[in-house]
Structure 1
Amino acid sequence: LGVADGAFAAGLAARAATPGTAHVVPAGESPAFLSEWSVAALGDPELADLLTRLGLRTMGAFAALPAPSVLGRFGPSGARAYRLALGLDEHPPALEEPPPELTETAELDPPATQVETAAFVAKGLADRLLERLEVRGMACTRVTIEAETEHGERLARCWRHDGALTPEALAARVRWQLEGWLTGRENSDEDIDVTAGLTLLRLAPDEIVPLDGRQLGFWGGDQAAADRAGRALARVQGMLGHFGELVTPVLQGGRTPAERVRWVPWGDPREPLRPVDAVRAPGANVAEMPPWPGALPDPAPARVFDLPLAAEFLDRDGQPVVVSGRGDPSAPPARLRCAELPGGGGDIAAWVGPWAHDLRWWDRKTRARCARWEVVVSPGVACLVAVTGGHATVEAIYD
């Protein structure tokens, strides 16, 4: 957890915090806090490389330059990074405090015990809420759904959306939430048990932004087709549920192919859980470091299996290849057997590795030690093989 004057400085403060604690940068001291950070943390690899070659390795050295000179030498992208190095956000947030009169409320008499009954009422609330926001030139990106039961139980949940909520998207999220409450699916993490029907529903906008409208493509592109596809995907998600199978990939940081992709439900903010670039926090050595040390080299495999495929990773004598505690293999790999590979596997024509990983060594429950090889099996099938506890698996295939 990190706290600072701006979002960028707060993000770096969170990186500098020790596990389980918060790093708080006092008000007005964000520039001093950022001054020791590497320019690689600015998120622009090309600019960071140029600044490093010019001898400007830290944000403090970069921020010491005159603003006109930065704009003239590095252009708009450099000016944006310059503002971040000074502790200023790229642009102030355009959020507005939702007026309290925009809250939409409906009383249910008799109390609703069925999802369809409550969802029908909620659909009308969603339509009216977004219509009133549109009249004011605003759009909603986060909404709070509240409900009360006949026995006085109070329920509330805040939903966030990637971009402005449409009537269909808002109605779908309200329906999912009502289904969770009335069927008891989402009450496991709450101290409330719904013991009666719902007597009140309320939708309150929690975060609103200016309604910017839609910018059509100038050099082509069918925006209408994209909108139709979006509506179709939203409809499919409505049938599957919010945590169904309709997800999109988001690139994030990690050392293995599986860690580098986060699957996000359709319509949710597409944000990584881990930063793509790992940057050393300020300390004795603030020089740039490569992203995610120990990560497997490019190229990334085309197919990554959710459940690795059982395999036999053998040496020339037919014995399993194992790895010592120091990461040394017992023998060069010579053959890979796996029932799911073409021909059940075969002789290894080429290989590189191993890369020894000791993941989450500080947590006994989730710690994982393994070694990985990239191998090419005749006739030309490239695989990512992992050996853990003497057992081999195929984690991915390079198609």
Structure 2
Amino acid sequence: MTERAIWRPRRFGRWVEVAAVRTLVLWFPDWPVTALALDGPEPMNLERPIAVVENNLVVACSAAARADGVKRGQRRRDAQARCPRLVVVASDAARDQRAFSPVVSSIEEQAPGVQIIRPGMCALRVRGPARYYGGEAEAAKVLQEALRERGLVGVRAGIADGPFTAEQAARLTRPAEPTCTVLTGESAQFLAPLPVRVLGGMSELSAAPRATRGATATGTDLVGLLDRLGVHTLGQFAAMSEERVRERFGDRGLRLHALAGGSDSRAIEPRTPPPELHREVAFEPPLEIAEQVAFGMRIAAEEFIAGIGAADLVCTELRVELLGDRGERSERVWLHPASFDAAAVVDRVRWQLGEDEGRLRSGVALVRISPEAVDAASHHRPAIFGTGPEERVHHALSRVQAMLGHRGVLTPAVGGGRWLAERQVLVPWGDRAVVTKERARPWPGSLPDPLPATVFPESRAVEVTSLGGYLVEVDERGNMSAVPGLFVEAGRKRAIAEWAGPWPVVERGWDAARTRRAHRFQVVDADGTGWLLVCDRGSWTAEARYD
């Protein structure tokens, strides 16, 4: 049986005949769900019904969710209606790629020259592995067995002429037969009965310019148009003449037409394995004292920074993973105002041990450090005429933080909420502000500008009375029992010269158990100092002071 020949353009306007590349595609079904179990401080149990959602649509789901009727392309509310106990997780392309990278590295240990098509799918030339392992199917079996040892079961393999046909072969496999081989020269016959919708996501395969006339060149629109024209299978599309396809769909449509006929001239472009920038240190026996762990990480931190510097990079975000002797795991991404050095890396390991003390209930058996984000070293070199005041401030605060700990130096950030204490967020120096309540959301009942200069971390208890000595109260309708005349704060009586209010603040009015209905007042005492007082069910507190 002869190989299928494909015409491919070359330089100087000549066309040469090249043979289709025998390709092995490895497909990891529902990879976004698998990535949840491989990446993160608390790996998720895949036996639970899980759905990964993007743009309110299910893009992947676990086997338990699929058994309850959840499927890809389903709306989120429909999936939750079919499976009320469904765990919904937002899609994260970075998480999928981060979890897939070590998997590809393990494949490269068995067969080099791997090209990542997308997270959860990769391709490689099968000729070399087939010669080494004794056949194409044997090579696929060896790779699947190596992945199974890593805990990745259910990996499917497709072998055919070209990546497109091999991908379709992998998608048609079953758990009992995880490998599908399309013989050389039989791609057209294999693809003929497949529906044209498999071309829906293939528009990026063409490097030709966009069509200037006719229908849009995207694969999804082309599928819809072909369906309206009565072309439902790849075989029917491949039977159309190339002249008519070019006239109607342009060069991209012609490229998809060639794929439908089994003519896939794409070559495998193996990735260049990234340099091993991460470092890990195993402790035997496990260490229980943080200072001992930090001391043991000094050499590894220096090698880590030196390795990144050799690539003319600096680390701006650091991932630290701590593994306990009993299987506990602590993982966190640390930020830096500028870039990490060896001392800063060791500090982060020490701080994480202190803050995650409850999560690690046994000694530390392994510490792994890896760059989460890097930047060109040229962007962090000092200026010609000095570093300036910002660099001096950073240096001073970083030294104080190294002596006092992670939360020894805090910087303020503004958050959201109706109460001033909620909007005042303190962030450790160098970290990114993480607020539980977004500032941009509307907060009915929140205080408008100008805001008080002094906000009490904890509201101070006060007592507001009338001039006659009667306690002032406010009912649910905002009616006051008496006119406020004075208030007592920290044992000191202050006469009220002016006042304004009340302004109601209602939270969770729909929940009788958690509802809160309070009223704000602005008062000015005899000394001219302004106060922000709150009356909550007869109890008065001072929320802030206008200095």
1:222-371 matches, cutoff 5 A: 223-242=387-406, 244-278=407-441, 291-339=442-490, 344-362=492-510, 367-371=515-519
- Contact 1:385 1:396 survives alignment (8 Å): yes
Q: Which structure carries more helix by proportion?
A: 2
Contact 1:146 1:201 in 2 (8 A): yes
Q: Which residue is equivalent to 2:539?
A: 391
Cα deviation digits, residues 362-384 of structure 1 (max 9, x gap): 55665432111011010211100
Preserved contact between residue 144 and residue 156 of structure 1 (Cα < 8 Å):
no
* Letter paired with 2:304: L
1:145 and 2:320 are equivalent in the alignment: yes
Worse-matched range after superposition: 314-323 or 269-278: 269-278
> Equivalents in 1 of 2:328, 2:482: separation in Å?
64
Which position in structure 2 is the counterpart of 1:186? 358
Q: Is the 8 A contact 2:420 2:455 kept in 1?
A: yes
Q: 1:163 to 1:109 in 2, by over 3 A?
A: same
Cα distance between partner residues in 2 of 1:328 and 1:98: 72
Bigger shift: residues 202-211 or 305-314: 202-211
RCO higher in 1 or 2 (8 Å CA, sep ≥ 6)? Answer: 1
Corresponding residue SS for 1:160 = strand
- Maintained 8 Å contact 1:348/1:375: yes
Decide which of 322, 334, 344 is 1:160's aligned counterpart.
Answer: 334
Q: What pairs up with 1:69-108 in 2 under 5 angstroms? A: 99=274, 101-108=276-283
CA distances 1:296-325 after superposition (whole Å, capped 9, x unpaired): 122111111112222111123321221111
Report matched runs for 1:21-60 at 5 Å. none
For residue 11 of structure 1, what is the aligned residue in structure 2? none
Give the superposition deviation at 1:163. Answer: 4.7
Q: What is the identity, as a one-letter code, of the residue corresponding to 2:477?
A: R
Q: 1:209 to 1:22 in 2, by over 3 A?
A: farther
8 Å CA contact retained: 1:360, 1:366: yes
Shift in alpha-carbon separation, 1:297–1:152, aligned structure 2, 3 A: closer
2:476–2:517: 8 Å Cα contact kept in structure 1? no
Query: What letter matches 1:112 in structure 2?
Result: L
Cα 1:382–1:364 shift into 2, 3 Å: same
CA distance in 2, matches of 1:209, 1:170: 16
Question: What's 2:62 paired with?
Answer: none
Q: Which amino acid aligns with 1:246?
A: V
- Judged with a 3 Å threshold, the aligned counterparts in structure 2 of structure 1 residues 335 and 3 are, in CA distance, closer, same or farther, namely farther
Partner SS state of residue 523, structure 2: strand
Aligned partners of 1:320, 1:369: CA distance in 2, in Å? 19
Separation in 2 of the partners of 1:233 and 1:170? 16
Structure 1 residues 132 and 294: alpha-carbon distance in aligned structure 2, compared to 1, 3 A threshold: same
Q: Distance in 2 between matches of 1:363 and 1:267?
A: 39
Aligned pair partner of 2:373 in 204, 207, 214: 207
CA contact (8 A) 1:159 1:173 kept: no
Offset of residue 211 of structure 1: 4.0
Separation in structure 2 between the aligned mates of residue 215 and residue 323 of structure 1, nearest angstrom: 61
Letter in 1 for 2:366: L
Change in Cα spacing, 1:236 to 1:337, as seen in structure 2 (3 Å) is same
Measured in 2, the distance between the counterparts of 1:364 and 1:223 equals 58
For 1:336, the aligned partner's letter is F
Q: For 1:10-25, what aligned pairs fall within 5 Å after superposition? A: none
Q: CA, structure 1 residues 22+117, in 2 after alignment: closer, same or farther (shift >3 Å)?
A: closer
**Same amino acid, percent of matched pairs:** 33
Question: 5+ unaligned residues in a row in structure 1: which ranges?
Answer: 6-19, 26-96, 279-290
CA distance in 1 between partners of 2:475 and 2:469 (Å): 18
- Counterpart CA distance in 2 for 1:293 and 1:98 is 53
| Cα distance change on mapping 1:21 and 1:391 into 2, 3 Å | farther
> Match of 2:379, SS?
coil
The alpha-carbon deviation at position 105 of structure 1 amounts to: 1.9
Q: 1:327 to 1:210 in 2, by over 3 A?
A: farther
SS state at 1:102 partner = coil
State how far apart, in whole Å, the 1-side matches of 2:516 and 2:408 are.
28
Confirm or deny: 8 A CA contact 2:318 2:370 kept in the other structure: yes
Superposition RMSD in Å: 3.4
Q: CA deviation at 1:294?
A: 1.8
Contact 2:338–2:380, Cα closer than 8 Å, also in 1: no
The 3 A distance-change label for structure 1 pair 325 and 212 is farther
How far the C-alpha of 1:115 sits from its partner, in A, is 1.9
Q: Please say if residues 322 and 331 of structure 2, whose CA atoms lie closer than 8 Å, have aligned partners that are also in contact.
A: no
1:117 match:
292
- How far the C-alpha of 1:386 sits from its partner, in A, is 0.8
C-alpha contact 1:133 1:139 (8 A) present in aligned 2: yes
Distance 1:273 1:199, change over 3 A: closer
Aligned residue pairs, count: 286
Residue-by-residue CA offset, 1:156-191 (whole Å, 9 max, x unaligned): 31223155541233221111123456xxx331xxxx
1:139, 1:164 within 8 Å by CA — same for their partners in 2?
no
Q: 1:372 to 1:153 in 2, by over 3 A?
A: same
Post-superposition shift, 1:385? Answer: 0.6
Long gaps (5+) in structure 2: 1-51, 57-85, 92-271
Change (3 A) 1:378 1:264: same
Cα 1:3–1:265 shift into 2, 3 Å: farther
